[in-house]
């Protein structure tokens, strides 16, 4: 038994539960997961509620298997049985449902959290203000691709709290997703005047692309490229601005530059193996477009040209040289 566990037992015997929880978190920070979880279990056995949420959060975010896909929900459920008015844990539960693909359930729990805000459990203060909680619900709608619902919620948010850089960003993004491209540009430019973000730059590029303003769209997509290393896990986003940059070039009549973007997109997606259906469709679209351009014969594929191939004649000569060298070595006892 580790010294940390022994020390935590003493804290618990002295009813110093907060110190025991802090000790557990320190062990987690030092990657001592075994001690961390053991101390949490001791606290849970002592009916210390924050330990239940702590363990749920561990499986929600840190455990690789997320407790075989449970995402900490059973711990949040145990907490809510004792404190059903906990705003924090209702939000935790919402994220568990969302991560399991139950979007409607997730939104229902977010609504419950908002409903309980005025009369939340007195043993805890909500981590989020009501304003932040409403924005968190909007972000959930965006992740679920419920763009019309998100836009309506953003309108209400703006009426209640005014606009912020984040609300301008999301509203511009949602206006673009719902086909209101000219209006979207107003909000995206407002957001970008406060902070450059790849989400805003990509959405601005998409709005301009849909408006057929390809030269300006290409500028926005090119501004996304320096952020690529920070969003390697977001295949949908990184694919979007690269492949659309290619088609901006096609529409601008610059096939040579288009092939460069197409090669980049095709090569990038080749590295990912099996692709989601929507991204597979983009991959096919890029491949067909490159074939179309190359069949015209007016464009040099410099990337392909870098790969050198031997002609049949030179390959035979090389093979003969290798065979002669092999016989010489054999005759000399090698």
pLDDT tens string 122-177:
667 888 899 999 999 999 999 999 999 999 999 999 999 999 999 999 999 999 99
Q: Looking at per-residue confidence, does 332 or 186 come out higher?
A: 186
Q: Which of 246-250, 314-318, 326-330 has the lowest mean pLDDT?
A: 314-318
Please say whether the beta carbons of 239 and 282 come within 8 A.
Answer: yes
Tell me the C-alpha distance between 146 and 98, whole Å.
13
Tell me the C-alpha distance between 265 and 124, whole Å.
49
| Size of the chain, expressed as the number of residues it contains | 334
Cα 52 to Cα 8, 225, 321, distances in angstroms: 16, 42, 73
Tell me the C-alpha distance between 173 and 203, whole Å.
6
Tell me the C-alpha distance between 312 and 292, whole Å.
28
How is residue 87 annotated by DSSP? H
Tell me the C-alpha distance between 114 and 124, whole Å.
15
Q: What pLDDT is stored for residue 128 in this prediction?
A: 86
Cα–Cα–Cα angle for 29, 31, 36, rounded to 5 degrees: 75
Tell me the C-alpha distance between 193 and 233, whole Å.
27
pTM for the whole structure: 0.76
**CA-based torsion, 214, 220, 222, 224: positive or negative:** negative
pLDDT in tens, 77-107: 999 999 999 999 999 999 999 999 999 999 9
């Amino acid at each position: 038994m580790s010294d940390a566990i022994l020390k935590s037992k003493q804290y618990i015997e002295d009813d110093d539960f907060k110190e025991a929880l802090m000790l557990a978190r320190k062990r987690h920070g030092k990657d001592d997961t075994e001690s961390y979880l053991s101390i949490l279990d001791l606290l849970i056995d002592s009916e210390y509620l924050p330990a239940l949420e702590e363990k749920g959060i561990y499986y929600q975010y840190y455990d690789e298997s997320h407790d075989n896909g449970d995402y900490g929900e059973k711990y949040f459920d145990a907490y809510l049985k004792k404190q059903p008015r906990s705003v924090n844990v209702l939000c935790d539960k919402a994220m568990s449902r969302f991560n399991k693909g139950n979007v409607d359930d997730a939104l229902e729990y977010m609504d419950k959290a908002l409903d309980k805000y005025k009369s939340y459990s007195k043993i805890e203060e909500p981590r989020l203000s009501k304003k932040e909680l409403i924005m968190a619900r909007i972000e959930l709608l965006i992740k679920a691709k419920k763009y019309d619902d998100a836009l309506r919620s953003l309108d209400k948010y703006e009426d209640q709290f005014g606009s912020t850089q984040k609300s301008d960003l999301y509203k511009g993004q949602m206006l673009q997703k719902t086909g209101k491209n000219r209006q979207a540009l107003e909000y995206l430019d407002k957001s970008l005047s406060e902070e450059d973000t790849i989400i805003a730059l990509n959405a601005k590029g998409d709005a301009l692309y849909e408006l057929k303003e390809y030269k300006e769209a290409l500028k926005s997509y090119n501004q996304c490229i320096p952020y690529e290393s920070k969003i390697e896990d977001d295949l949908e986003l990184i694919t979007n601005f690269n492949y659309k940059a290619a088609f901006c070039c096609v529409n601008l009549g610059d096939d040579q530059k288009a092939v460069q973007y197409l090669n980049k997109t095709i090569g990038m997606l080749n590295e990912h193996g099996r692709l989601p259906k929507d991204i597979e469709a983009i991959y096919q679209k890029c491949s067909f477009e490159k074939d179309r351009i190359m069949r015209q014969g007016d464009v040099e594929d410099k990337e392909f040209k870098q790969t050198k191939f031997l002609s049949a004649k030179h390959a035979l000569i090389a093979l003969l040289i290798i065979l002669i060298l092999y016989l010489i070595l054999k005759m000399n006892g090698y």
